[in-house]
Structure 1
């Protein structure tokens, strides 16, 4: 189905305890079919399924950030809301609202009586920024405890109308996610990037990375009626810094520009990109914009935070709903998925009209997919093999996320030359014919822990089955 760029890793690959994904061939040495004239092992994309209860929040919605509390299981959402003032030159007011759910589907919007919005404090608004006029693009940052200054939650957002030296991307702390400490509110960068400005902490490189627009030097194309001078700011750029609480220096570096495939489909802008760092990989929900109408969401990923890849046929992570539906005009996806059992829950903002519609109604929707289930390698009916690069086995057993409910999977362990290791052959394991996100692969009388520190290959024999991920555990 899809062929993704091969990103070679030094061998033996140090996989540690991280989940190994197959959206590219980073750890794949080869894959082939047992009937090569008619079949092949293919890469399959699995789009999240929109929930039947959508919209889970009606009448409110914008960029959304989600967290599931590990102790209570409570799902918490912080999201942008807007109100068009109707005043010349003022545009819209923006604020951050809050909702929560015990099951991730049915949400409550408590009245906090904290922040005035449209003339009343009887609302679920929790933050409006230093000017009281604009707090947009909310995101809860997953930061190490040492960087939180004693707060449990850190919120990054964009503000305007606050005066010179105040406008731009800011961070504020909270102990409960509802009451935000104005004294902690700090400027990260004086950049008017009016989109979702995702900030992630890269634990390998010890830095924070923000994905934004390069609006230090480009405006929204044609804002003055002169594209020659404005350029085009609706691109994806990045900035980085070691400290969330001190201003970052240096200009945004452009890293994603629409290519020929985007142009052929009319998606000639990138509106923004929600991102997260998970299992050593940057995951992006890329907002593809057809000027000046549709916005849809696609999957992007990077192993270094600079070179982002996309699946060649550009399948939609979140597509528009039908004409007239609550999400039929625009869908703003988020990379802030939460884990609910064997499923990942992805929340997104939807609108019933396209970008320039003056009176469109927002909402927040839910889409779910298999845990770790964006992409699989799929073996054909006649069978196929996925052979990894040499891996430095860290010890412990092998866990596999796979669906063989209509076929079967077997696994063997081999050396550099693909010679099977004694006791770890296909015939030494019980063939798997089920569906599991955490299958414990076992060989009769043998343990992979015996191979700790050795360079090995894993060979997956797939017959009419999907291999999503594997990990050492």
Structure 2
């Protein structure tokens, strides 16, 4: 390694360390400048990395934040007549799609009347993510037979619901390839609540590993994510130990269908924190009579907590909306409240309720699997479930859109460490150009708009180039990116190297 490369590596490591120190103790909703972005995609829609944006004709036009909904697949439902909360992973070695989903059957009393339901976790797999095989595994009795695809019924083989496959640091896995959290009830005091269990193959789950995280009756999909900045686990659940803890009118019991948050330091011991409500329906929800939240699966990606929020209209519709947060506590929702996964049209298989979750990376796309029902929440006897898919191009849920006469998006001060600049952007109906300025917005020579090769296409990996300059020369400099958008959408920007895209 020559001196120049060694110095560059040392400087990069030093600035990453300094940046980490600067972030400590400050709000995660506002970065310390200059920001060291590394090679992580930088989303622009929430203004975390954006210092300013404006239209050139500012009296008539504006730079807008635009939501782009995933499109439902024409093969839906992929699984018909069965389904519940769903969790999908793709094997990184074989490419096989693997699905764990909640299933249920009515529980009857001695007179044959339904008294609730029995719940279990079933398994399916697919080579293409569209055609699913539900293998006969003969592991558990279900509906009077062992000829089924049930893989888990809980610590006492009595109840398992709300499967959530976990992505955690290798050191926390205890050697298991798969980790799953779930909810159980009827197991007895000290066992009921949210639990985690490990497996080597995703089918045979090791009961000896099954550990209680929270003795909490949160009967929804309780999503657990690892927060790498705080170095802790975060669960999104219901605080039912505070609300709906006894019978009576709502004046006394309260409303439990809210999104609460609790944290823990380990997956293998009971958490000592208390859940705190962080999302409560507001006036915009009330206008549509969505007075409750059924749950919120969450995924952490590129510095953002992405929530699939389930607004609930008592006792009919459940939809899926997008929520997002930089710290996992203060979540924002778009003011127009667009649906991430919309209800199906009348008489369709998913016209009553849709429960969207996080995505699976498939090439240049994000695939959102979801469970749907053809009837309302209050009619469990007649509604039928199914599992479907909606897709979108990678990292393209929300953009900043430049108007027809042009607008500008200006980043915060960046400590530049890359050698190339890539944009995830759609300029097929307009134009994008980038100029580079210093921290006080003095344009750097050779990096003005007229020096930039304009973009007029749609790509996840536009490389921005200038006629006679390379960003390699800016290593270690404090810069701003000033991105001109004319009738174009910008989703992310990203620093790259000379050899990587």
Q: Could you say whether these structures have the same fold, taking a TM-score greater than 0.5 normalized by the shorter chain as the test?
A: yes
Matching of residue 159 in structure 1 with residue 184 in structure 2: yes
Summarize the alignment of residues 50-449 of structure 1 with structure 2, pairs less than 5 Å apart.
50-87=72-109, 90-219=115-244, 224-335=247-358, 337-357=359-379, 358-449=381-472
- State how far apart, in whole Å, the 2-side matches of 1:159 and 1:312 are: 36
Q: SS of 1:456's equivalent?
A: strand
- State how far apart, in whole Å, the 2-side matches of 1:63 and 1:362 are: 10
- State how far apart, in whole Å, the 2-side matches of 1:399 and 1:112 are: 47
TM-score (norm 1): 0.96
Q: CA deviation digits over 1:32-57, x for unaligned, max 9?
A: 11222322211100011011000011
Name 1:12's counterpart in structure 2.
34
* RMSD of Structure 2 on Structure 1 (CA): 1.5
Give how far 1:107 is off: 1.2
- State how far apart, in whole Å, the 1-side matches of 2:80 and 2:102 are: 13
- State how far apart, in whole Å, the 2-side matches of 1:195 and 1:289 are: 13
Structure exhibiting the larger radius of gyration computed from Cα positions = 2
- State how far apart, in whole Å, the 2-side matches of 1:123 and 1:448 are: 58
Conserved 8 A contact 1:216-1:252: no
Q: CA deviation digits over 1:298-344, x for unaligned, max 9?
A: 00111111111111111111111012211000000102x11112111
- State how far apart, in whole Å, the 1-side matches of 2:45 and 2:387 are: 27
- State how far apart, in whole Å, the 2-side matches of 1:273 and 1:344 are: 18
Name 1:3's counterpart in structure 2.
none
- State how far apart, in whole Å, the 1-side matches of 2:277 and 2:202 are: 32
Conserved 8 A contact 2:66-2:398: yes
Q: SS of 1:91's equivalent?
A: strand
Name 2:47's counterpart in structure 1.
25
- State how far apart, in whole Å, the 1-side matches of 2:256 and 2:174 are: 34
Name 2:5's counterpart in structure 1.
none
- State how far apart, in whole Å, the 1-side matches of 2:65 and 2:171 are: 40
Q: SS of 1:103's equivalent?
A: coil
Partner residue of 1:450 out of 473, 484, 490: 473
- State how far apart, in whole Å, the 1-side matches of 2:130 and 2:66 are: 28
Name 2:489's counterpart in structure 1.
466
- State how far apart, in whole Å, the 2-side matches of 1:64 and 1:452 are: 45
Give how far 1:133 is off: 2.5
- State how far apart, in whole Å, the 1-side matches of 2:199 and 2:290 are: 38
- State how far apart, in whole Å, the 2-side matches of 1:348 and 1:331 are: 7
5+ long unaligned stretches in structure 1: 1-5
Conserved 8 A contact 2:107-2:114: no
Give how far 1:275 is off: 0.5
Conserved 8 A contact 1:111-1:122: yes
Give how far 1:90 is off: 4.0
Conserved 8 A contact 2:29-2:326: no
Q: Give the number of equivalent residue pairs.
A: 465
Name 2:20's counterpart in structure 1.
none
Give how far 1:225 is off: 4.1
- State how far apart, in whole Å, the 1-side matches of 2:422 and 2:197 are: 39
Conserved 8 A contact 2:39-2:418: no
- State how far apart, in whole Å, the 2-side matches of 1:251 and 1:444 are: 58
- State how far apart, in whole Å, the 2-side matches of 1:86 and 1:290 are: 28
Conserved 8 A contact 1:216-1:251: no
Conserved 8 A contact 1:64-1:348: yes
Q: Which moved more, 1:343-352 or 1:83-92?
A: 83-92
- State how far apart, in whole Å, the 2-side matches of 1:275 and 1:421 are: 41
- State how far apart, in whole Å, the 1-side matches of 2:61 and 2:228 are: 40
Name 2:13's counterpart in structure 1.
none
